[in-house]
Amino acid sequence: MAHFLFFLLAIICIASVLGMIISKDQAYTALFLIVAFVCMGGLFGLLEAPFIAAVQIIIYAGAIMILFIFVVMMINLRKGVGPEKKKWTMYFAVVIAAVLVVELVLTLKGTLEPISSAALESLGSPTDLGRLLFTKYLYPFEITSILIIAALVGAIVLVKKRDKE
Amino acid sequence: MNTIYALFPVLIIVAASLLVMILEVFLKREDRSYLAYISLLFLIAAAAGCVKFWDKGYSYFDGNLSLSNLSLFFCFILIIATFLVILISMKYLTLQNANYGEYYVLLLFALSGMIIMVSSSDLIVIFLGLEVLSLSSYALAGLRREDEKSNEAAVKYFLLGSFASAFLVFGIAFLYGATQATAIPSIVEGLQSGSSFGTLGLVGLGLVVIGFGFKVAVVPFHMWTPDVYQGAPTPITAFFSVGPKAVGFAVLLRIFIPYFKDALESQLMFGLLWIIAAITMIAGNLIALRQTNVKRILAYSSIAHAGYLMVAILAQDTQSLVFYLTAYLFMNIGAFAAVIALGKKDHEYLELEDYKGIGFRYPWIGATFAVFLISLAGFPPTGGFLAKFYVFSAAVRQGLVSLVIIGVLASLVSVFYYLRIIIYMYMKEPSYDVEINIDNPSLFLALFLCLYGVLQLGIFPGNILVLISQAVAALPF
């Protein structure tokens, strides 16, 4: 079952990423990206990392995608501007892709054996994360609240309507 | 001692900003100056707290928050800086059409971020504090919304600042990978023990230097500085030139002074910072020569000063670094206060041409501005002279003779552009009238306080030096 789900999600993920690259329409691109993100979330779930799976879906497929779509809507860019096709960018891209492939192979080498499930047991479970957040990382966690309110105030003061003199 | 009192300075600043935020809703536009008074009161309370906690060594959250004497000293000078900035901005905001209550809210949030940064040695906490500071700063830079330059400043600061933060997080992640720690002492220990992850740690340190190098504006990460300093409201420029710089160096000091103790391990980073210090001093001063806008001149001067501060880090001398930052606070905020004094409704005089004959027309402003410029240039009997003297002599003791020669030559160059402003003020005939609004008591109070600070540090630095040596005695933090 797990194997079947893995290959299903992986294939959908790769297909939608390909669709995202090939598609010319900005809105479709964004939608393909959502599908890819959701599949990634599913893959994290299969790896017994439910918290990361949830975050992947909530933050990437939710919040960040909405930002993307807002931008697409606001600048009204249905048909994307094609990237400038220069020879050297092409070569550069090939080189970087090759480096990435090598890196991937090196990382995978030796880690392909199935990981024992004992090691996975507490990896990113929401309970543990929550407990850490409210004990060891309480201070950073509380600072985040100041951070958010500072960001809110800053954003509002920059965009709100001016009151009359 | 582990006690909840350690939270007092941060909490009181956050409480002040929340209170100001709520009160702003209920106050009429004309009454907004009350918000400034309230902020000032809370700042005094926080400063009193810092004084009271001296030598107590309070800490909380398993040492994530620790008020060592050095932290308290930094908190204290940051509170003074914010105090002065609020004083110089009270009238400015109504004159320049930027009278938002949120101004004080954001300023206090920025201060709380800085206090969080200097009172912790955990890189996660430091990063979050830096973000609180940065996010408030981005908004403050763009506060004059009708002004194109101010918008440009906000956007530029935001984009480049986000990049710098990303570099910093990346660096922290690398350091964690290399040493399995986020607390600075354990990281330094891990790096010095020469584990197999040496390269990883070096990359991490390099990325952290880039992140903070941006915040303290050292060459080559200084590109944003002149534009942001020019575009932001002038009191905020004064704040930017002092606050983020002080906290950036406070963190660099915690990392690099213990790290450099092991000369062999740290050779590479030492060389890197040496080069940064040298080109910052040279480039900052040389480019300043070509500027005609006073704010831009002061921007490049602040870049050059970051170079001198970097020399103090390389000399591994905390005392001279802290003294330099203290003196720099007074002279730089003072200089900006004098620039703000030369303003009227909806107009600021910022071009060098405007300063012709100011020295005789407005003798007090001219004279104090001249003192601050002399101090920035590093002449006795001002604080700027002693600060430079301590830094350079510490560097010579450490054997950095060539760096000191570069520094002294660079500050000789700097004399030219500081004196040029003075020459314009006293030796050129004005070609047009400069009308300014002189009904601005809080600004003159700030000018006086800065003047007092500069002269006190220059003539009787004894008390402050004793305090600083007490603060440094508690090393390692």
Put simply, whether A138 touches B (Cβ < 8 Å) is yes
The token pair at B194 is: 């020469």
Q: What is the C-alpha to C-alpha distance for residues A139 and B89, in angstroms, rounded to an integer?
A: 32
Segment A102-122 shows an average pLDDT of 68
The answer to whether residue A147 is domain-embedded is: yes
* pLDDT tens digits, B174-198: 999 888 888 998 888 888 886 656 7
Q: What is the C-alpha to C-alpha distance for residues A63 and A65, in angstroms, rounded to an integer?
A: 6
Same domain, A66 and A11: yes
- The count of other CB atoms within 10 Å of the CB of residue B150 is 23
- The count of other CB atoms within 10 Å of the CB of residue A161 is 5
Q: What is the C-alpha to C-alpha distance for residues B217 and B204, in angstroms, rounded to an integer?
A: 19
The answer to whether residue A116 is domain-embedded is: no
**CB contact at 8 A, B235 and B89:** yes
pLDDT band with cut points at 50, 70 and 90 for residue A113: low
Same domain, A3 and A18: yes
The answer to whether residue A161 is domain-embedded is: yes
Nearest to A147 among B100, B132, B140 (CB): B132
**Opening angle at CA B203, ends B198 and B204, nearest 5:** 95
- Which of 103-122 (B) contact A at CB < 8 A? 105-106, 109-110, 112-113, 116, 120, 122
What residues pair up with B183 in beta bridges, in sequence order? B122
Same domain, A60 and A12: yes
Nearest to B125 among A143, A153, A155 (CB): A143
The token pair at A82 is: 């094609």
Q: What is the C-alpha to C-alpha distance for residues B82 and B236, in angstroms, rounded to an integer?
A: 10
| Residue numbers of the domain that contains A98 | 81-111
Domain harbouring A17, CATH code:
1.20.120.1200
Same domain, A73 and A27: yes
Between helices B33-52 and B8-26, what is the axis angle to 10°?
170
Same domain, A45 and A85: no
Partners of A156 on chain B (C-beta within 8 Å) are 102
Q: Which is nearest to A139 in space by CA: B173, B70, B128?
A: B128
The pLDDT, as a whole number, for residue B413 is 92
Q: What is the C-alpha to C-alpha distance for residues B35 and B29, in angstroms, rounded to an integer?
A: 11
pLDDT band with cut points at 50, 70 and 90 for residue A67: confident
Same domain, A73 and A91: no
Put simply, whether A136 touches B (Cβ < 8 Å) is yes
Same domain, A71 and A92: no
Nearest to A138 among B61, B120, B142 (CB): B61
* pLDDT tens digits, B242-294: 999 999 999 999 999 888 887 777 888 899 999 999 999 999 999 999 888 99
Task: Please tell me the total count of domains within chain A.
Answer: 3
Q: What is the C-alpha to C-alpha distance for residues A90 and A113, in angstroms, rounded to an integer?
A: 36
pLDDT band with cut points at 50, 70 and 90 for residue A121: low
The answer to whether residue A120 is domain-embedded is: no
**Could you tell me the pTM of the whole model?**
0.90
Per-residue pLDDT for A120 more than 90? Answer: no
Per-residue pLDDT for A75 more than 80? Answer: no
Same domain, A46 and A106: no
The pLDDT, as a whole number, for residue A117 is 53
Same domain, A95 and A139: no
Beta-carbon separation of B135 and A158 below 8 A:
no
Residues B186/B192/B198/B200 CA torsion (nearest 10 deg): 30
Same domain, A4 and A75: yes
* pLDDT tens digits, B280-320: 999 999 999 988 899 999 999 999 999 999 999 999 889 99
Partners of B113 on chain A (C-beta within 8 Å) are 146, 150
The answer to whether residue A49 is domain-embedded is: yes
Rg over CA atoms, chain B: 21
> Which residues of chain B register pLDDT less than 70?
194-197, 474-477
Distance from CA of A144 to the nearest CA of B (A): 7
The pLDDT, as a whole number, for residue A165 is 46
DSSP state for residue A85 in the 8-state scheme: -
Beta-carbon separation of B124 and A137 below 8 A:
yes
Same domain, A26 and A96: no
Nearest to B105 among A153, A158, A162 (CB): A153
Same domain, A100 and A160: no
Share the mean pLDDT of chain A.
82
- Which of 26-65 (A) contact B at CB < 8 A? none
Helix (H, G, I), strand (E, B) or coil at B257: helix
